[in-house]
Amino acid sequence: MTDAGRAGLHIAVAAALAVAAVLVLPGALELFALINATVWAAMALLALSLAFAWGAGGILCFGQTAFFGLGGYAYAVAGINFGDGALAVLPALTVATLAAAALGWVMFYGRVGDVYMGVITLTVTLILFKFANSTAGEQWRIGAAALGGFNGIPQTPPLNWPGDPANPLTPEQVFVVAVLCLFGCYAAVKLVLLTRFGRVAVAIKENELRAELLGYDVRAHRLGVFTIGGAMAGLAGVVFANCVFVSPSMFSLAYAGQVVIWVLVGGVGTYVGPMAACVALQALASWAGTVPGFDPNLLLGGVLLAAVLAVPRGLLPTAQDLLGRLRPSRRRPAEPKIAPAE
């Protein structure tokens, strides 16, 4: 099967799943469970955004939550000022995209090494966390929107039909929007990987020096991948703001850590893996949260440690390997090796 054919198949399967989710879940789930499912869809989108930056671009971004939170905050601020949630989506995506582009420019054009990149991105999200936490009080407002410090912005406006601010979306409709965003971004990722740009990005990830010597602009391609990832994280923030509300915890170390865990456990270089790991681990964490006296961080940390030590390539590639070994008759293309970065 050609690459395009395989991507088409994946997108078709994803479309079928998305349609099934949209048709079945709103009727089958209770309201609370449905809102939870929307949150998980937003988180899966966040996981997908990092899976793209890390898997396609080889960019170790530990602070994907920076763009997630910025998207959410920009959405809330713009929504309150415009009084119209639909109009706020574009500014939110713009802010997240520009932030990713600016940070990416500093890192890639400064030729910062990949480990430093992880630390810098993590630091950026932690600083945003502190900054957002300190914005309590009247002097911290943008237009009509008070940033609210530790409490965030509880009056984050819901999405509405474009041009009809008096008619906000119901939780069922927000769920549909979330699933459509997730599917759309998945399809976009698959399609981008088929383009020349996507192929060059993967080539750079596989061997940066070789790609550069062949004349490709490593910095520009990395910047492009990182910016797309940032925009997707911003979209995830918008969806998240619609089912919860924006608060500094969107920037927090716990969230930043979880995203990395999802991608690593699911498998760097795959896209379904991180999304599936995201949903599975969220379910696990919310179950662990109900056990009295147990701290979910312990579980998450344990999972991350175990994943790095036992299945460093992630569950999906490992499972594919095992399947391939069980069926030796079918010739499989060699898995792209995820080389440990220097």
Partner 1 sequence: MDLALAVGLQVLTGVAVLVIVSLGLAVVFGMMRVINLAHGEFMMLGAFAAVLATGAGLSLWVAMLLVAPVAVGLFGLVVERLVIRRLYGRMVDTMLATWGLSLALVGGMTMLAGNSVSGVSAPLGSVAVGGFRTSGYELFLIGAAVALSLGVWVALRFTRWGLVARGTMQDAETASALGVAPDRVYAVTFAAGAALSGLAGALLAPLSGVVPTMGAAYIARAFITVITGGAAILAGTLSASGLLGTVSTLGTFLSTPVLGEVAMLVVAVVLLRLLPRGITGRVLRRAL
Judged by the rule CB under 8 A, the positions of this chain that interact with partner 1 are 60, 62, 106, 109-116, 118-120, 122-124, 126-127, 130-131, 133-134, 253-254, 257, 260-261, 264, 293-309, 312, 340-342
- Residue closer to partner 1 (CB basis): 59 or 89: 59
Helix intervals (H) in the chain: 3-28, 31-57, 64-82, 85-109, 114-133, 171-194, 196-206, 208-213, 218-243, 253-266, 272-290, 296-310, 315-326
Work out the burial of residue 130: count CB atoms within 10 Å of its CB; fewer than 13 is exposed, 13-18 middle, 19 or more buried.
Answer: exposed
- Residue closer to partner 1 (CB basis): 104 or 237: 104
- Residue closer to partner 1 (CB basis): 122 or 185: 122
- Residue closer to partner 1 (CB basis): 104 or 157: 104
To partner 1, the closest distance from the beta carbon of 298 in angstroms equals: 3
As given in the structure block, the two tokens for residue 319 are 């499972």
To partner 1, the closest distance from the beta carbon of 269 in angstroms equals: 14
To partner 1, the closest distance from the beta carbon of 232 in angstroms equals: 22
What's CA 181's distance to the chain center, in Å? 12
- Residue closer to partner 1 (CB basis): 26 or 274: 274
To partner 1, the closest distance from the beta carbon of 295 in angstroms equals: 4
- Residue closer to partner 1 (CB basis): 175 or 262: 262
Q: Are 157 and 88 in contact (CB under 8 A)?
A: yes
As given in the structure block, the two tokens for residue 89 are 């989506």
Distance (Å, rounded) from C-alpha 56 to C-alpha 14? Answer: 19
To partner 1, the closest distance from the beta carbon of 7 in angstroms equals: 28
To partner 1, the closest distance from the beta carbon of 111 in angstroms equals: 5
- Residue closer to partner 1 (CB basis): 121 or 160: 121
- Residue closer to partner 1 (CB basis): 178 or 260: 260
Residue type, 40: W
Q: Which of 146, 171, 160 is nearest to 38 (CA)?
A: 171
As given in the structure block, the two tokens for residue 307 are 């994943």
To partner 1, the closest distance from the beta carbon of 315 in angstroms equals: 15
What's CA 317's distance to the chain center, in Å? 20
Q: What is the sign, positive or negative, of the torsion defined by CA atoms of 56, 59, 60, 64?
A: negative
To partner 1, the closest distance from the beta carbon of 325 in angstroms equals: 24
Q: Residue 152, by phi and psi: left (phi above 0), alpha (psi -120 to 50) or beta?
A: left
Q: Are 58 and 200 in contact (CB under 8 A)?
A: no
Q: How much is the CA Rg of the chain, to the nearest whole Å?
A: 20
To partner 1, the closest distance from the beta carbon of 265 in angstroms equals: 10
Distance (Å, rounded) from C-alpha 200 to C-alpha 5? Answer: 19
* DSSP-derived 3-state class of residue 146: strand
- Residue closer to partner 1 (CB basis): 59 or 239: 59
